[in-house]
Amino acid sequence: MQESINQSLKPITTEINDNQNLEIGGCDLVELAQKYSTPLYVLDEATLRGICQNYKQAFSSYEKVNMMYASKALCTMATSAILSSEGFGFDVVSGGEIYTVYKAGVDMSKVLFNGNNKSVDEIKLALDLGVGRFSVDNFLELSLLNEIAKSENKIANILLRITPGIECHTHEYIQTGHLDSKFGFDLTQVDEAVSLILDEYKNLNLHGLHAHIGSQIFETQVYHDEIEILVKELSRLDEKFGLKLDEINIGGGLGVKYTEKDLPPSAFEIADVIIKSLNASVEKYGIEPPTLFIEPGRSIISTSGVTLYTLGSSKQVPKGKKYVAVDGGMSDNPRPSMYQAEYSAQIANKPLDENIETVTIAGRFCESGDILIKDISLPQIEEGDILCVYNTGAYNYSMASNYNRVQKPQMVLVNNSQSDIIVNRETLDDLVAKDVIPDRLK
């Protein structure tokens, strides 16, 4: 089976240049660190576009496919513009993501608004900007969306999000398809929801069903199981209500390679399972082939991103670990602290040097749990070395914080030896811009 870029540890343009430094997108990483300072998010355009093209090729044999990028992985105007130019729509989960893709010039009819507790303002914004689909998560949202759509004399096109009862072998906090989940209608609630839509909620137009089974998925069988459940449910709803639903959204979740031990399937492998399962299920249950929505996020953006840090202080614990601190940490990458996530890294200015010591990379923040990488083998390190941490495109910037009142890093896009700022580094004035001192305290 053909490989895809989500199976690569590093961006596809990663090389060692004549300066004997790492480069990505034709840009020397050490020079990028000097020019833009660190911590620095670096995004490789060729890798991002390459995985988009992998997905489109992988699913090309199924005629009715809508590729929807899961914006929560990384949402900026520049990345949205790139993904839109590659033919992707967008799965968004907040007013902020809706507004970002809108400002990037995205065709809003290709946007689906997901989420388990959408606010009135967010629903109004989505309706006003012409979002193409709402994935409705619960009974309150059904009522609220119908009420708002009615008040604006609009019809909201919707999918029902269901929990299919499938658990994938991933971290507990990123399993979303099992029965005990905050997301979606239980299968026993679907008939009640459909009856309300048909009988009472005349400003809602139901097109199909949506399910999402998790994230960082390495198993392909779960997609087969999910599709079987969704298609069977379409057939059952047709039989009971005479309802010809013609869309299924199976979410995303394909895993990526954070370390050498990670062996995710390729986009081509999951496409093969999904398409074969869909064709078989359609035949089994006697329905017309539905339009397939798929929502990759991490597997689209993660491999294209790296984060650069400057090494600082170190501490050798007597008869214990050696800690080496960087100028970032849990505020720009909270995943190791939250999920015990593991990463791989190299010294960007010493990629050819032999790895001779094992160290633990510690962040700069006031938490003992602020550890980025445990027990990594590196060359002899010195203060001022540039550390390149791989596969940080997904959920690093998007989950970043201002903990300890530290500014969020800059992000640059690299391609053909050119670097462009796509997110400016926050300033100290940015940090206090929203603060207010009441007059009585002055």
Distance CA 26, CA 417 (A): 4
**Is the distance from CB of 34 to CB of 326 less than 8 angstroms?**
no
Distance CA 362, CA 314 (A): 9
Distance CA 47, CA 3 (A): 14
Distance CA 226, CA 253 (A): 12
Q: Which helix (H) or strand (E) holds 121?
A: helix 120-129
Distance CA 129, CA 295 (A): 21
346 DSSP β-pair partners: 388
Q: In whole angstroms, how large is the CA radius of gyration of the chain?
A: 23
- Active-site annotation holder among 27, 75, 168, 366: 366
Return the biggest CA–CA distance within the chain.
73
Distance CA 25, CA 11 (A): 8
**Catalytic-residue membership of 366:** yes
Q: How big is the CA angle at 209 (ends 208 and 215), to the nearest 5 degrees?
A: 145
Residues designated as active site: 366
